[in-house]
Structures are given as structure tokens and as C-alpha cells.
Amino acid sequence: IVLSGGDDHLWKMWGFPDGNVLTTGHGHTDWVSGCCFRPSGTQLVTSSGDTTVRMWDLSRRGCVLTLRGHSRAVRACSWHSCGDFVASASTDRTSKIWDVGSERCRYTLHGHKDSVNSIEFLPFTNTLLTCSADKTVSLWDFRTVSRLF
């Protein structure tokens, strides 16, 4: 299975290697920039130019949660390996860590001087990697919200 997002405001799940569309997600009002499966595989998260991060339940075939808080387009998203947290990177120069259980932003990471374009939790750690248009890469300890590098 492969996920994709596009300028058509949709995300699609594709069967591999046949290339057939298995399902399509409707709900974003601007381009979809990122898609990521929850470690359990039952849900996914998407990021969009509409400033939102959305969580989708594959068994219900719909959006179950919309996370709002970024002031500009969201460029990327990532699930923590425990499945309880989602991280997002935005052109508003911040990254956010969302607590899925409480459905709220747990932390906002400040430090980049330009758009944050990529974000990834390092597997089975509390370390988060961000990459920015300011030509820097940062490592964060998301438990203490401190920049490691």
C-alpha cells in the first residue's frame, strides 16, 4: 500500500504493485502535503495547505479529527512510534506535537527562522527531527521541548 497527497485536495491509498486506488480521502480545502500511517495501521494522518492536520479512520472511511493551530500551510506530518502523538511542520516557522488522546496541541516548537518543511520522529525514541528552509536541521527532545542540535 502506498499513500499520496495532491493539489486536488485529496489523499489516495494505492494498491501496490497493481496501482489501483483502494480509497480516497475528501475533506481538505487545499493541497495535501503529507500522509503517514499510524503504527497500528488502522488510521492515518494528513497535512495540508489549508493549515490543518487531519486524522482518518480507515475502517470508518472518514476524517475523525481535525487539528487546528498552525497559522500557515502545514508541509509535513509524522506519527510517533507509540501511536499517541503526531508531529506537524509548517510554513509558519513552527512545528507542533499533538496529543491524539486529548485532541490538542501538547507543544509548539520555535527555533527555525523560515518554513519548517519536514518532520520525523526517530523510531522508538523521544527525538524529533525537523528540516527548514533556513538551511538548518534540528533534533529535539519532545519530552522537554528542548533543542538537542
**For position 13, which CATH number holds?**
2.130.10.10
pLDDT band of residue 60 (cuts 50, 70, 90) is: confident
Number of independent structural domains in the chain: 1
**Is the bond preceding residue 39 a cis peptide, omega within 30 degrees?**
no
The burial class, CB within 10 Å (0-12 / 13-18 / 19+), for 31 is: middle
Compute CA distances 31 → 6, 27, 35, 40, whole Å. Answer: 6, 11, 12, 26
pTM for this prediction = 0.94
Q: If you average pLDDT over residues 11-36, what whole number do you get? A: 94
pLDDT at 10: 97
pLDDT at 142: 84
The burial class, CB within 10 Å (0-12 / 13-18 / 19+), for 80 is: buried
How far apart CA 48 and CA 10 sit, in angstroms, is 10
For the segment 90-100, what is each residue's pLDDT rounded down to a tens digit? 999 999 999 99
Provide the residue range defining the domain that includes 89: 2-147
